[in-house]
């Protein structure tokens, strides 16, 4: 039995501390996520490393849903991650990291296909905001064949990464996992992931929602884009009239949450001065899912997850260690 079965991209994060001028020179939109090919990836790395002499600060396993699943596992939950990695050094790094965290996966060292494992270049500016530039590599061909039905049907929650809608086969995998979960009575959680995904792939999200989503994670910009509203309160009101429960994150202010067709409620958080916002929403979602599967209601799960999101933005990197998560869960 698994607490959470996650489906999403397998990426290794390369983190760089850059100035606002370097970010502007790169021409990538601040705080957004851009998908690029191998040539554009190489050009960006040349700009950062060769022209400006900036060395990579950290290399870490990443991917939005993978960060969430790592949080579930770090808190003591049992988790499974379905992804696609190549049999290269980067893929081995990613797979070894999953195993070290006790996370089960649809691959082992012997069956990874040839190719290039995905990479996400994270440019972190002095204000703590992160701009992501992603080369999907082999995860671009993530497909329904990577879904393990036996593990999914024995899970308490399915968690779908919204970034999958940008790939035709990835979207098919999300739909396949959703259908399996629904047939087995497993609740489905979905993160909208990025405002660019919502704006560019609305039809795909509409199909996911039409097939049944039990819990939605979004930040306020994503929520407003999805509901075509002009304020977070309007977005919350619109979502509250839908069949889905939701948690709309508001940065340091907390989150607006609602159960199925319930009145939106603000769950406040203690504000912090962020160093690096990478992984805040992913960590928050992982905490909420863990506490939901442990018997908490959505409001309590949200309140108990706020300190984890605050902690991850107070350091560099997209994840907290198991020790950090355990300490926060007991605080």
Res. 153 pLDDT band, cuts 50 70 90: very high
Tokens 């304020």 identify what position?
231
Number of neighbouring beta carbons within 10 Å of residue 272: 15
Q: Is residue 66 pLDDT above 90, yes or no?
A: yes
Res. 331 pLDDT band, cuts 50 70 90: confident
Report strand pairing: 118-124 vs 130-135: antiparallel
Q: What percent of the chain has pLDDT over 70?
A: 100
Res. 317 pLDDT band, cuts 50 70 90: confident
* pLDDT digits 0-9 by tens, 108-128: 877 899 999 999 999 999 998
What is the per-residue pLDDT for 130?
87
* Range list of β-strands (E), the chain: 2-7, 11-17, 33-35, 58-62, 79-82, 104-105, 118-124, 130-135, 155-161, 188-191, 215-219, 245-249, 254-258, 265-268
* pLDDT digits 0-9 by tens, 290-308: 999 999 999 999 999 999 9
When pLDDT is averaged across residues 261-289 and rounded to a whole number, the result is 92
Taking phi first (over 0 means left), then psi (-120 to 50 degrees means alpha), and beta for anything else, what does residue 295 get? left
């Amino acid at each position: 039995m698994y607490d959470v079965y996650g489906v999403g991209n397998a990426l290794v994060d390369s983190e760089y501390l850059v100035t606002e001028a370097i970010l502007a020179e790169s021409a990538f939109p601040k705080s957004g996520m851009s998908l690029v090919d191998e040539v554009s990836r190489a050009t960006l790395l040349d700009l950062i490393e060769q022209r400006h002499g900036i060395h990579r600060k950290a290399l870490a396993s990443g991917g939005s849903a993978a960060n969430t699943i790592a949080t579930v596992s770090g808190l003591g939950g049992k988790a499974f991650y379905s992804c696609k990695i190549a049999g290269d050094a980067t893929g081995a790094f990613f797979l070894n990291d999953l195993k070290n965290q006790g996370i089960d996966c649809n691959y082992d060292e012997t069956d990874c296909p040839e190719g290039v494992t995905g990479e996400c270049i994270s440019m972190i500016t002095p204000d703590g905001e992160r701009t992501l530039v992603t080369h999907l590599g082999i995860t671009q061909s993530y497909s329904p064949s990577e879904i393990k039905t036996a593990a999914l049907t024995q899970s308490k929650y399915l968690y779908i990464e919204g970034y999958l809608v940008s790939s035709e086969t990835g979207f098919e995998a999300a739909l396949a996992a959703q259908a399996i979960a629904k047939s087995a009575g497993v609740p489905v959680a979905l993160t909208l992931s990025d405002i660019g995904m919502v704006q560019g792939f609305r039809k795909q999200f509409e199909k996911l929602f039409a097939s049944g989503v039990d819990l939605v994670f979004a930040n306020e910009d994503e929520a407003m884009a999805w509901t075509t509203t002009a304020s977070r309160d309007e977005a919350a009101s619109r979502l509250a009239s839908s069949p889905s429960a939701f948690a709309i994150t508001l940065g340091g202010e907390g989150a607006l949450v609602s159960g199925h067709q319930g009145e939106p409620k603000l769950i406040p958080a203690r504000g912090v001065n962020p160093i690096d916002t990478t992984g805040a929403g992913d960590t928050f979602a992982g905490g909420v899912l863990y506490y939901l599967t442990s018997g908490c209601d959505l409001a309590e799960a949200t309140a108990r997850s706020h300190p984890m999101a605050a902690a991850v933005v107070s350091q560099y990197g997209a994840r907290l260690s198991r020790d950090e998560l355990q300490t926060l869960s007991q605080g």
